[in-house]
Every structure is written in C-alpha cells, then in structure tokens.
Amino acid sequence: MSGHYPFGGKANRITVFAFFEKHQMSLELQERYYKWWFDFAKNAVDQDPDLKAARGVDFQHYPFGQHAETNFHLHDYQWATAMADLGAFIVDVILPKLSHEDQEKVAHDHEALLQTLEKEREASPRAPVPDVGRYRHV
C-alpha cells in the first residue's frame, strides 16, 4: 500500500519533490498536501494509546520531523523534506497497523485530495523552478 504515496518505498525529498512537480503543486498546495497527511498521522497517534505515549509529543509542533521548517535548497524543498520525514513515520508505523479496509479508505481519500488540489492548482499556480544546479545548497 505504501507504494501509492510519494513517500512510499525508497523515497526521499527528491522523489517527493518530483511528485509535487508532476502534480504542478505550488508551495501553498504542497503545504496543504503535507497538512492533510500531518492531520492523518496526528489523529492516528492520538487514537492509539501506545503511539500517543511514545510519539504524541512529536505532533505538538507543526510541521513534524527532524527537518521541519528547513528550506535549505534553492528548489524550495521545504515541504518535500518535511513530507519525507512524516511519510517515513506513516509508512513504518501507522500504515502497518491499519486493516486492509482502512488502508483502502486512506487510498481513496488520498485520491480525492489529489483531485481537489488539481482543481485548485489554477488558482495557485506553481512558480517556475529557478535555473540552478540540483545539488547547490544555500
């Protein structure tokens, strides 16, 4: 199931960024995509007593993860990096706990989210990517 999401499999910030580019998401839409997954993960943690005790503190701050609020790349990888961190937690901890039916519901809701963001893309177009080398950091 994790392969259906940009953070599934052997994903990193570049594969998530490629997903955002493929869907032509502006930074605003990238954050909305990230926020949807953040809320999903926070709700899953809050509803599981063991996860809440162990990881609840991680969701007291938005965004989640080691690279939260870090935009160290000229291509604006902030949300891709944060999504890679959050996605690793979702794939490794939350998705394995879900039943097949719940996983199907998440996949369906995810598809609906992408359709919604696609419709909103025209109102919030993606800024052109700067012409700099991929690995040139600030």
Q: What pLDDT digit, counting tens, does each position of 84-101 carry?
A: 889 999 999 999 999 999
State phi, psi for 128 to the nearest 5 degrees.
-60, 145
Q: Please classify residue 30 by burial: count the beta carbons closer than 10 Å to its beta carbon, then call 0-12 exposed, 13-18 middle and 19+ buried.
A: buried
Instruction: Please tell me whether residue 137 adopts helix, strand or coil conformation.
Output: strand
Question: pTM (2 decimals)?
Answer: 0.84
Which residue from 97, 90, 100 is spatially nearest to 50, judged by alpha carbons?
Answer: 97
- Ordered by start, the domain boundaries in the chain are 2-120
**What average pLDDT does range 95-110 have in this prediction?**
95
Contacts of 92 (CB under 8 A, 6+ apart): none
30 vs 131: CA distance, rounded Å: 20
- What distance in Å separates the CA atoms of residue 36 and residue 21, rounded to the nearest whole number? 18
pLDDT at 2: 44
Q: Which residues contact 22 (CB under 8 A, 6 or more apart)?
A: none
pLDDT value of position 1: 45
Q: What is the pLDDT of residues 17-41, one digit of tens each?
A: 889 989 999 989 999 999 999 999 9
Neighbours of 19 (CB within 10 A): 19
Q: Which two tokens stand for residue 16?
A: 């998530």
